[in-house]
A and B are shown apart, each in its own frame.
Chain A
Amino acid sequence: MSKKYAYFPGCSAKGTCRELDMSTHVVAKLFGIELVELENPGCTGAREFRAISELLHLTANGRILALAEQLGLDLAAVCDTCLLNLMETNQRLKSDAAALEAVNKVLAQEKLSYAGGVDVKHFLWVLTEDLGVEALRASVVRPLRGLRVAPFYGCHIQRPESVFDTSSDETPALDRLIQTLGGEVVCYDGASKCCGFHVVTVEEDISVRMAGGHLSNAKTEGAQCIVTPCPLCHTVFDSFQPQMEKQRQQPFGIPVLHVAQLVGLAVGLTPEEMGLARHWVGSDDIVAHLGGASV
C-alpha cells in the first residue's frame, strides 16, 4: 500500500530544525510513505505576508498548491503555521472564484495555475489517519512504556474554527499518537495554548513568559518530554528554554520532540537517525528510560 504526497518542509525544517526534516523522511520511508519534495516552492509567508497584502498571501500559498497539483498529489506539511496558511488559502481558492482568478493571473507568468484539486494535511494526520493507528502500533518495537509525554499542539493546527473542525469530542491526533506508541498523555493547562513564536523576534519577553508558564504546568504534572507538531513551537520551547528557566527561576530540563522523533523512539530508530543531538535540551534521560523499558 503505497502512499505518496507532495512534501512542503517549510523554512524551519530546512534550517533551524533540520532534524525535523531528517526524522520525517526516515519515518516516512519506514512506513512506505513517499514524500516528493516540491522544487523551489517558496514560502507560505508565516504571519508576515498576510500583514503585507492579502493577494501576496494567497499567491504565495496558491503557488505551492499549484506545484502539488502539477504532481497530482495531496500536500503534506510539517509546520502548523505553514499548514494553516495552506489550508486557509486552499479553502478560499476552492470557494471564491474571483480570488482564484486573481491568483492564477499572477501565477500565469510562471506558467502555473491552480484548479483546486489538492488536499492539505499535516504529516501527523498522514500517520494517524492515512496510515492509521493500527499500522503504527504494529511497528512499535520499543513502546514508550511509562513515558509521560506532554502534547503541545500549537495554535495553527486547531484554530480558527473556520478552518479546523474541532466540534467533535474525538481525542486529538497528537494524544492518539502518544497513546498508540505506548506513552502516557500528560494533561496540563497550556497544551492547546500559544507559545508566542510569532512575536519572539521583536517581543521575546512575551513569548518567554507565555511558553514558560505552559512548561511549568507540564513539569508540575510530571512531564518527561514535550512533543509538538510545529517546529516554531519547538524552537520556543527548546532554544528559549534557558530564558524561561532564568525568567521563572526554575530549572526545567524538559526535552522537546518533533512528531517524527517520538514515532522514531518507539519504532527503534537511533538518536542519530532522529537528530536528537541537534536539540538544546538533551534527550538522554528519556532514551535511557526507554532502554530500560525495552523488550
Chain B
Amino acid sequence: MNPSSKPTTELDVIRVSLFRFDPETEAEPRYESYEVPHVPRMRVMDVLDYIHETLAVDFGYRWLCGSKKCGTCAVTVNGTPKLACWEEAEPVMTIEPLNSLPIIRDLVVSRDPHQDGLAKLQPLIVRTEPYSGFPEPLSATDMAPSYHLRDCIQCLACHSVCPVLQQPDTGFGGPAQLVALAELALDPRDGADRATIAEEVTKVFKCVSCYECERVCPTHIPIVGEAIEPLKRLVYRRGKAAGAQRARVFLDVVKVHGHANPTKVAVKTKGVRLADLGLAARMVRRGKIKLGDAFLKRPAAGAAALRNTLEASEDSE
C-alpha cells in the first residue's frame, strides 16, 4: 500500500476521483474530482452518499441493505472491487464501476450477464428422489461441502476481476456462476446433471486457476478449491470434455514416465495441429522439447511404485 493512502486520524477531506458516464448521451467516460469532509470510520458508501446529496445530485450508484447482505453496492476502489457499504474510505480514492459488466450509468452496472447466465444453470434443486417429508434428514456432514458457498451474496466482485471474462468470446461462466452451480451440485438433495451443465454451459475447464476471485471475495469463499475444483471433478468422472481429457492424459503420462511431460500431454490431448508446428519447431530448436517425447512410451525407472500409489488414491471420490 502506498503510505500516502493509509488512513490517518487528522484527515480533513477525502479526495475522490469519480467515474462518470452516461452511455445514452455521452461518447466517453470522464472522471470528476470531489472533496468530501472526512468523518472518522467513514465508509466508501458514506462518501458516495455525501457526493450524491451535496455535490452531484445526478450521480448514479446502487445499494440496498448497507450491511454486506444484498451484494448490490460493489464498486472498484483504487483498482480493487469492494463493497462500498463495508470498506472504510481511503484518503484518496478513484472510484469506478465493476469491470466486465455493461455500464448503465456512472457506478451502476447491468447485472444481466450474470442473471442470464444463472438462468441457464437450472438454478433450483432438482429432486430425482422422492421427498422424504419434513424435517428432511440432512446432517451437517451432508451439507459441509457447500457450506462456505452459501456465504455468496452475488456482489460480482469476483466476476469483475476474472481475467478469462475479460477476454472475448470464451463462453466461460466465471466464478460467480460457478459458485452458484457448485452450491447446487454439492447439495445432497439435488439430482440434476450438473456435470453436463458445468462443462457445456459454464465451461469450467477454462478457469486459469489464478485465484484472483478469491483475493477479492468479501465473504472469503474458497472459490477455486470448494466450487471450481469440485465441479471439475464431477466433469472428470462423467465425461469426455477436453479439460477432463487433459487431466486424464496428464495422470497417465505421470504413471508411465514418473513425471509430467508437457509435450506428450499436449499432443495426446488435442492431437498434432498444423497451427502448433511453428511453436513445436521453435521449441525443438532450443532443445526445449524432443520430438520423441511426444510419442515414445518409456517407463521410467522407479515409476511402478509411484503408479501403484497414484492408482490407490485416484478413485477416492
Residues of A within 8 A of B (CB): 11-12, 14-18, 39-40, 42-43, 45-56, 58-60, 63, 102-103, 106-107, 109-110, 155-156, 159-162, 169, 193-194, 196-199, 201-203, 205-207, 209-210, 235, 239-240, 242-243, 277-280
Contacts and interface: CB of A to CB of B under 8 A. Distances in A.
With most chain B CB atoms within 10 A of its CB, the pick from A16, A51, A201, A210 is: A51
Contacts of B111: none
B215 A199 contact: no
A59 B310 contact: yes
With most chain B CB atoms within 10 A of its CB, the pick from A15, A18, A59 is: A15
B136 interface: no
With most chain B CB atoms within 10 A of its CB, the pick from A14, A103, A206 is: A206
B9 interface: no
B170 A203 contact: yes
A16 B251 contact: no
B308 A17 contact: no
Question: Which 3 pairs from chain A and chain B are nearest by CB?
Answer: A194-B210, A159-B211, A40-B302
Contacts of B317: 53-55
B203 to A, nearest CB: 9
Contacts of A45: 250, 254
Given A48-B246, A201-B269, A206-B206, A56 B313 contact: yes
A140 B304 CA distance: 45
Interface residues of B, number: 66
A15 B262 contact: yes
Contacts of A16: 262-263, 283, 288-289
B298 interface: no
Contacts of B278: 242
B303 to A, nearest CB: 7
Contacts of A193: 163, 210, 212
Main secondary structure of the interface of B (DSSP, over half): helix
A210 B167 contact: yes
With most chain A CB atoms within 10 A of its CB, the pick from B1, B164, B242, B317 is: B164
A206 B209 CA distance: 13
Contacts of B52: none
Interface stretch (B70-78, B173-181, B229-237): B229-237
Interface of B: 1, 163-164, 166-167, 170, 205-212, 214-215, 222, 224-225, 229, 232-233, 236, 242-244, 246-248, 250-251, 254, 258-263, 265-266, 269-270, 278-279, 282-283, 286-289, 293, 300-303, 305-306, 308-310, 312-317
Contact of A159 (B215, B236, B303): B215
A275 B194 CA distance: 48
A202 B242 contact: yes
A161 B215 contact: yes
A39 B247 CA distance: 24
Contacts of B229: 50-51, 54
Contacts of B250: 45-46, 48-49
A252 B214 CA distance: 32
Main secondary structure of the interface of A (DSSP, over half): helix
Given A40-B302, A160-B225, A201-B246, 20 more contacts: A11-B261, A15-B261, A40-B300, A40-B305, A42-B259, A42-B309, A48-B246, A51-B243, A51-B247, A54-B233, A55-B316, A56-B313, A59-B310, A193-B210, A194-B163, A198-B208, A198-B209, A202-B205, A206-B164, A242-B282
Given A15-B261, A239-B283, A201 B208 contact: no
Contacts of B316: 53-56, 102
Contacts of B313: 53, 55-56, 58-60, 103, 106
Contacts of A103: 313
A235 B244 CA distance: 23
Nearest to B235: A51
Contacts of B259: 11, 14, 42-43
B284 to A, nearest CB: 11
A17 to B, nearest CB: 7
B222 to A, nearest CB: 7
B162 to A, nearest CB: 10
Contacts of A58: 313
Contact of B214 (A54, A160, A210): A160
Nearest to A163: B211
With most chain B CB atoms within 10 A of its CB, the pick from A48, A58, A277 is: A48
Contact of B233 (A52, A169, A201): A52
Contact of A52 (B164, B247, B301): B247
B208 A196 contact: yes
